[in-house]
Amino acid sequence: MQFGTKAIHAGVEPDPTTGAIMTPIYQTSTYVQAAPGDHKGYEYSRTHNPTRTALQNALAALENGRHGLCFATGMAAIDAVVKLLKPGDEVVSTNDLYGGTYRLFTKVFEGFGVKFRFVDMSDLANVEAALSPNTKLIWAETPTNPLLRIIDIEGLAALARKQGCLLGVDNTFASPYLQNPLDLGADLVMHSVTKYLGGHSDVVMGALVVKDDALAERLAFLQNSCGATPGPMDCFLVLRGLKTLHLRMQRHSENGAVVAAFLAAHPKVDKVYWPGFPSHANHAVAKRQMKDFGGMISFTLKGDRMDDALRVLSSTKLFSLAESLGGVESLLGHPASMTHASIPREDRLRNGLADTLIRLSVGLEDAGDLVADLQQALG
């Protein structure tokens, strides 16, 4: 079954009671049992809900996995992964990653005795050098947030197998349409469902997809025990969003290519970070493991003046200044003060995240209008 067909049909069936083609919103907290333990597979909605089950099955199908697990937020999904570890275990993570992930790692789990090493994973030699006998998890984003670095997932998987540890990949920027980490050897894939999977800036959710039955059982135990599960209305909204994921990602990628080319040619723009450029570091890896290059772009201005960057951020008409990404509308943000403010400034600068970096989430508007908006803002 091809991706577009799976996006529309996978995980969902007509409602057996009414024949409704759309999965019902099972807005219930509990389920009547004929006798103690005699039920229809559902006891309590923290543990299972039919709307959530349909979504979890759909996500598993799109990532070519066996098990999907949905969480109230993307951070709750990552939290469940790290809870697989114990004090003394170590995690090797990319040094260019979402600020909320960095905060969870360093401000929460380091306090419980888990150690984190942050390295530039675009060179796998850095990852190999950081591994130790205590390394139990390798955590990667690719493309990374916000510098769009590309990490070789197959190469990471080989290192993880040799180490005997798990490999987790945050696939939020790519989506299952552009990239499937499980097919490349990852043990689990994570999504901030809030972004491209929902696609309409109207829901907050996270998800994990795995192939291994035992790993899925451990994660499901944490999902139920810790209770950070989404409600049925949110699951319904994401199921609806998935049906156009392939169409949206095609347009995001097309518009991203146009906007990236415009920025690269603009006299006021210094660096443009977009993996579709042949000059982009690890472009060949991106071309091999991704179907296309997406609609996420970051750039800096010549002169590196904060005032110039702030003027651009406050001058656009179609690009809205806001956190998040992946919706139908175009957004722009300032990572240093918004999505990555929780990372100490010295760490941001050391990792290449300049104070003047601007991040774009290129939406589905007409590409010409988006270019015109950036042209006037840069002018």
Catalytic residues: 46, 98, 170, 195
What order do you get walking across the sheet with 269-273 strand by strand? 269-273, 296-301, 358-361, 331-333, 320-321
Measuring CA to CA, how many Å separate 94 from each of 59, 60, 126, 160, 358? 25, 25, 10, 14, 20
How many CB atoms are closer than 10 A to CB 183?
Answer: 15
* Length of the chain measured in residues: 379
Q: Which stretches does DSSP call E strand in 114-187? A: 115-119, 135-141, 166-170
Q: Provide the CA 249 distance to its chain's centre, in angstroms.
A: 14
CA atoms of 236 and 232, how far apart (whole Å): 6
Are 174 and 325 a contacting pair, CB within 8 Å? no
Residue 359 bridge partners (DSSP): 298, 333
List, in sequence order, every beta strand (DSSP E) within the chain.
67-71, 90-94, 115-119, 135-141, 166-170, 188-192, 206-210, 269-273, 296-301, 320-321, 331-333, 358-361
| Beta bridge partners of residue 310, listed in sequence order | none
**Residue partners of 363: CB distance under 8 A and separation at least 6:** 252, 255, 295, 327, 328, 329, 330, 331, 370
By the 8 A CB rule, do 353 and 340 touch?
yes
Q: How far is 153 from 185, CA to CA, in rounded Å?
A: 7
> Beta partners for 92?
117, 138
Full strand arrangement of the beta sheet holding 67-71:
67-71, 206-210, 188-192, 166-170, 135-141, 90-94, 115-119
Residue written as token pair 């390394």: 135
